[in-house]
Amino acid sequence: MLAPTSPVTDTMAQRMTACAGCHGQEGKSTPSGFFPRIAGKPAGYLYNQLLNFREGRRTYPLMTYLVEHLSDDYLKEMAEYFASLDLPYDPPPRPQASAAELERGQQLVLKGDAGRKILACVQCHGENLNGRAPSIPGLLGLPRDYVVAQLGAWKTGNRHAVAPDCMADVAEPLTVADITAMASWLAAQPVPAKGKPASSGAATLKLPMPCGSDWR
């Protein structure tokens, strides 16, 4: 005769264990290189991405399957749960690029390239690249391959956001070499201030271009 099992407590943490298979325990990410950390990201950003998967602006079959029948309110609960997690970041891996590539990546991330109409990442994602609440994500603590894949998806039109899609405009002038250099430099940086996004609000933050999902 089987021993009785203890009932499972119905909490948001328990429900979100399904996300751990790809995003790691409590959304902290895994060494696979293709799935991002979601713990501690701005709630507005996470909510927008869940909407994008549900509504077809981002395509990944498993994510679509998980969220396609969920309500807006439940997606907000999910986003707020992961945004509330305060977990340490692992040290960055060894750089996967030459010194020249890393220098070029740093230049593009911190200063952009005005001659080619490439905006610096810090103009939107914050001076320490930890993002801005409520809807702009940090760029540090992410796998190099994931950053390459996402910038490439925007450039090729395989990833979208609510119009006006500012990241599609940002990615358009980037070359493959630019994307690789930027991703390599970003992935090699330590995460300052425990990865906390800046708290600049909609009334004070001035972005360099219109962005459809900024404050939604």
Q: Please give the domain boundaries of the chain with CATH numbers for all domains.
A: 16-195 (1.10.760.10)
Model confidence at 201: pLDDT above 90: no
pLDDT tens-digit series, residues 59-90 = 999 999 999 999 999 999 999 999 999 999 99
Say if residue 128 is exposed, middle or buried (CB neighbours under 10 Å; 0-12, 13-18, 19+): middle
30-43: average pLDDT: 89
What mean pLDDT do residues 188-208 have?
80
pTM: 0.90
Poorest-pLDDT segment among 38-47, 95-104, 166-175, 202-211:
202-211
Q: What span, in angstroms and rounded, lies between the C-alpha atoms of 73 and 126?
A: 28
User: pLDDT digits over 90-144, tens only?
Assistant: 999 999 899 999 999 999 999 999 999 999 999 999 999 999 988 999 999 999 9
Residue 170 DSSP one-character state: H
Tokens standing for 91? Answer: 């040290």
Label residue 33 by pLDDT band (50, 70, 90): confident
Burial of 31 (0-12, 13-18, 19+ CB in 10 A): exposed
Angle, to 10 degrees, between the axis of helix 176-187 and the axis of helix 99-110?
A: 90
Which of 108-117, 144-153, 156-165, 195-204 has the least mean pLDDT? 195-204
Q: Is a pLDDT exceeding 80 seen at residue 1?
A: no
User: Of all helices (H) and strands (E), which one includes residue 48?
Assistant: helix 43-55
Share of the chain above pLDDT 90, in %: 78
pLDDT number for residue 206: 80
DSSP label at 189? Answer: S
User: Whole-angstrom Cα distance, residue 157 to residue 193?
Assistant: 33
Structure tokens at 30: 């895994």
